[in-house]
Structure 1
Amino acid sequence: MSYKLSVIVPVFNAEKYIRESLDSLVNQTLGINNIEVIIVNDNSSDNTLDIIKEYTEKYTSFKVINNETNLGPGESRNLALSEVTSDYVTYLDADDFISENAYADGLAKIDEFDVDLLIYNWETYTGSDYVEPINIHQQNTEENKLIENIKDYPKLFLSTAPWNKIYHKSLFKYLKFSKGFYEDNIVAVLSLINAKRIFLSKDSIYYYRKNFDSTTENISVDSSIHLSNSIKEIFDLKEEYPDFLDYIKLLNINFIYDILFWIYYYDWTIPQEVKMVDKLKSSIIPFTSDDINRFKKLFPDKLSYEEDILELTNYDSNTFLAKYKYFNRLNKVNSKASLYVDVGRGFNEEDKVEITYTPLRKNKLTFNLENFNNICQLRFDPLEGSFIKCSVTNNLPIVSSNCDNSIEEDYQLFTNLDPCYVLDADFSNISSIQINFDLEILNNNDIANLFRQKDNIINNLQVKPKKRKFGFFR
């Protein structure tokens, strides 16, 4: 039988969600008889295989491959690709599902615009009212768009998921997934580089389930090792595709950021941390300030480890950890913002709301004030323990600040370790307040320049110095 599209579904112990996933295929407006479904059961130990058999017995377009040992999603996808009989293939993970029109709409656009790669939108699904913030891997499109030169859309290189794409058979040779975690990164890069024409579709949605038991949600030392392997694999492409080195660097800067965040955030043993940094250092090539600035221009809200990334190859692992994790005065992760509430007793530690967050360039925090009555004033401390540059961006009634410059300026400079803003208005009837603020942690050069400016101001004051008691200075 001839199929219009093949869908590869790697499955491991997915009894909880597999029905919803497979039903979203059965209900496709393209018609299940036009869709070749190749399920790879990766040696599941629960009731997954029994559920799969229900579908293979009911629908002739369903096939199943049973792995005798657990191979992982990458190798499972590779096995299934050799069984594909149609000219187009896509992927569906066993705990995800897809909108009913996705495949019919996707193939129609492929035919209309003569493209060999189609990318459609995706949303994170948690099964609750919680809405996952869009991250920089989620480059969704608000309009249908034809791309004939991928270099004009560098952000797409961070769209590494294999499952929100439909691939023409001309790209099949690039769909060779790696072993281990993060097996899909190399496939995404090779597909984007080698696709002649790409279409971004706003009209279909892949629903990615936020599964808190998944490998990507449970960070371990192996997570860092596997992602470092992926970084090296991607960097190795520079020999075959030298014209794409800048784009490869964009993706890997983001992956390096992730690994550094894991190292800084979690409590590892020293040998584990050294192992993680050693592996990362062996997987990268040096970056320049131009590389970092290119990334910052595209993703201004993301990067906060510029110096760390630039200096990574300049230190042995122990020294790097000492400087950038243990003895660095900056609290890089798990920082606190505080809102002090004056209910007639002034600002004190008892009347305070704290939020733990990871400081980004653009931040949005909401403080719950339901437990406070007759609020007179509020004091907002954006970040404690660091010298910062900050700007509150949502027009709150700021009346004063302990910044070094004026609150009337576009941003405030703080060379004290307890920066704060005082807000004064009628807060008597509010139950919460949202504070949007831009934040930049000052680096060593910034701080040195600021204190140098202060010294110059002091030295220029026309004040007659007191006579020194001792003659040590000439």
Structure 2
Amino acid sequence: MSYKLSVIIPVFNAEDYIKECLDSVVDQSLGIDNIEVIIVNDNSCDSTLDIISQYTDKYPSFKLISNKSNLGPGESRNMALKEVSSDYVTYLDADDFISQNAYEDALSKINEFNADLLIYNWETYTGSDYVEPINIHQQNTLENKLITDIKQNPKLFLSTAPWNKIYHRSLFKYLKFSKGFYEDNIVAILALINAKRIFLSKDSIYYYRKNSDSTTENITVDSSIHLSNSIKEIFDLRYEYPEFLNDLKLLNINFIYDILFWTYYYNWALADELKIINKLKSVIIPLKKEDIDRFKQLFPDKLSYEKDILDLDKYDAETFLAKYKYFNRLNKVNSQASLYVDTGKGFNESDKVAIDYSPLKKNNLEFSLENFGNISKLRFDPLEGSFIKCRITNNLPISDANCDNSVDDDYQIFTNLDPCYVLDADFSDISSIQINFDLEILTNNDIANLFRQKDNIINDLQVKPKKRKFSFFNKKE
């Protein structure tokens, strides 16, 4: 049978939403007999497959592909594209749905204007009366418009969603999704660059469900790593499409901003923050002030980290975090003290007791050791993510500390972001330990004075990265 449009729907554990999604396709004014629906069940383990079967049994135009293992939406879309029989394809996510006239109206405009790519409106669906603000990636189409030169419409480079678009067969070769959380960015960019006639339609609507369980709503350390990989993919396009470099920079400036915002906002472990910044530094190309200025001109309400972005390649990761996150107090200080327990395997995250507290000048914390045996050493971290001056005031056996002065001094000064003491004694007969300590968070002036004493002011650390973490107090290189 000949179909006017093919719709690819990757599905994984979508029992709560898949029926509304499929109903929105069945009810299309174009007629379900004209729509080839290719569903890829990505090894769901809930009742999703049972629901899908109700549709495949009823509608001949529905096709089902079942993955034997979970491959992710990108690979699932790639598999489905091989089964497409019509000249046009679009994507629909299993938790989203579309307006009733979406496909008929879109195909009508494609035929009228001889477009090989159509982009229609999308709205965020929250299931309530709350209206989500316009997203920077959201093409706010106020009028129907034909575009024959995308370089005259650079904002479109941020329209990276694959699902509010209909692609002609001539673009199928660019619809190769990569693995990872942000598998759609490169596909959208390649389609935009290679489309000859793009039509923006205000008359069709894709409803994007704001789902708290989705990858885009649950930001993790891995989110930053995967988005960094996407940044590299996008920058690498400059070799094949050098004339679009400035436009590729627009999209990646936005993604760099997102990663920095997440790193500033979330209180992740310092090691993870260092990993993110190092990864980001490894994938970006040098950006200039005029690149930032162009972005700000097009998106004046978005950017606030201009200097941070421009300085990414000037500092090692820890210096960058110190200068732009912790010096500026852009995040909430992670008010947590940790006690790492060495039971013969060294200090590791699995053998740790953490206590949330509000840091005061004088602090008294008690850590339970009931779950540990054969304790040889303890490591006490009074406060992660801040430069501090600290001293333990009860009589505990301090053998070492990663401070910049001596453990025998009245106070220990820590100008690293992960201050710690090592306690070395026989702890085999105790079920808990009380640690009393005085603590002060160093001010910017305090730190600046310390750096000046060593002729090593942080603002001058732009010539070459340090060889190891925060080596401000080492001899000059």
Fold agreement, TM-score > 0.5: yes
Structure 1 residue 328 displacement after superposition: 2.3
| Local SS of the residue matching 1:23 | helix
Residues 1:23 and 2:18 are matched in the alignment: no
Count of residue pairs the alignment pairs up? 334
Q: Distance in 1 between matches of 2:80 and 2:278?
A: 35
Partner of 2:152: 152
Q: Distance in 1 between matches of 2:312 and 2:114?
A: 44
Structure 1 residue 215 displacement after superposition: 1.0
- Check the 8 A contact 2:40/2:64 in 1, yes or no: yes
- Check the 8 A contact 2:116/2:170 in 1, yes or no: yes
- The percent identity for this pair of structures is 80
- Check the 8 A contact 2:11/2:93 in 1, yes or no: yes
- Check the 8 A contact 2:118/2:167 in 1, yes or no: yes
Q: Distance in 2 between matches of 1:197 and 1:318?
A: 47
Q: Distance in 2 between matches of 1:176 and 1:21?
A: 24
Q: Distance in 2 between matches of 1:275 and 1:32?
A: 49
Partner of 1:239: 239
Partner of 2:172: 172
- Check the 8 A contact 2:265/2:331 in 1, yes or no: no
Q: Distance in 2 between matches of 1:204 and 1:132?
A: 18
Aligned residue identity for 2:30: L
Aligned residue identity for 1:304: S
What stretches of structure 2 of length at least 5 have no aligned partner?
334-477
> Which runs of 4 or more aligned residues in structure 1 lie more than 3 Å from their structure 2 counterparts after TM superposition?
329-333
Q: Distance in 1 between matches of 2:282 and 2:305?
A: 19
1:141-179 deviation digits (Å, cap 9, x = unpaired): 110000000001100100000000000000000000010
Aligned residue identity for 1:117: L
- Check the 8 A contact 1:118/1:198 in 2, yes or no: yes
Partner of 2:446: none
- Check the 8 A contact 1:119/1:200 in 2, yes or no: yes
Q: Distance in 1 between matches of 2:304 and 2:139?
A: 20
| Local SS of the residue matching 1:49 | helix
Aligned residue identity for 1:230: S
| Local SS of the residue matching 1:124 | strand
Structure 1 residue 331 displacement after superposition: 6.4
Q: Distance in 1 between matches of 2:80 and 2:302?
A: 36
| Local SS of the residue matching 1:65 | strand
Change in CA separation of 1:332 and 1:185 when aligned onto 2, cut-off 3 Å: farther
Aligned residue identity for 1:322: A
**Which runs of structure 2 are paired with 1:147-296 in the superposition (5 Å)?**
147-296=147-296
Q: Distance in 2 between matches of 1:33 and 1:247?
A: 40
Partner of 1:132: 132
Aligned residue identity for 1:281: K
1:18-49 deviation digits (Å, cap 9, x = unpaired): 00000000000000000000000000000000
Change in CA separation of 1:107 and 1:83 when aligned onto 2, cut-off 3 Å: same
What stretches of structure 1 of length at least 5 have no aligned partner?
334-474
Aligned residue identity for 1:288: K
1:419-447 deviation digits (Å, cap 9, x = unpaired): xxxxxxxxxxxxxxxxxxxxxxxxxxxxx
- Check the 8 A contact 1:120/1:140 in 2, yes or no: no
Structure 1 residue 327 displacement after superposition: 1.1
1:353-395 deviation digits (Å, cap 9, x = unpaired): xxxxxxxxxxxxxxxxxxxxxxxxxxxxxxxxxxxxxxxxxxx
| Local SS of the residue matching 2:64 | strand
- Check the 8 A contact 1:174/1:191 in 2, yes or no: yes
Aligned residue identity for 1:218: N
Q: Distance in 1 between matches of 2:147 and 2:312?
A: 35
| Local SS of the residue matching 2:7 | strand
Partner of 1:302: 302
| Local SS of the residue matching 1:6 | strand
Partner of 1:57: 57
| Local SS of the residue matching 1:313 | coil
Structure 1 residue 330 displacement after superposition: 5.7
Q: Distance in 2 between matches of 1:179 and 1:27?
A: 32
| Local SS of the residue matching 1:64 | strand
Aligned residue identity for 1:10: P
**Which runs of structure 2 are paired with 1:321-400 in the superposition (5 Å)?**
321-328=321-328
Partner of 1:68: 68
Q: Distance in 1 between matches of 2:139 and 2:111?
A: 23
- Check the 8 A contact 1:21/1:97 in 2, yes or no: yes
Partner of 2:5: 5
TM-score normalized by the length of structure 2: 0.69
Partner of 2:361: none
Structure 1 residue 329 displacement after superposition: 5.5
Change in CA separation of 1:330 and 1:63 when aligned onto 2, cut-off 3 Å: closer
Residues 1:141 and 2:118 are matched in the alignment: no
| Local SS of the residue matching 1:292 | helix
| Local SS of the residue matching 1:312 | coil
| Local SS of the residue matching 1:207 | strand
Q: Distance in 1 between matches of 2:156 and 2:53?
A: 38
Q: Distance in 2 between matches of 1:31 and 1:229?
A: 40
1:29-72 deviation digits (Å, cap 9, x = unpaired): 00000000000000000000000000000000000100001000
Q: Distance in 2 between matches of 1:226 and 1:332?
A: 25
| Local SS of the residue matching 1:192 | helix
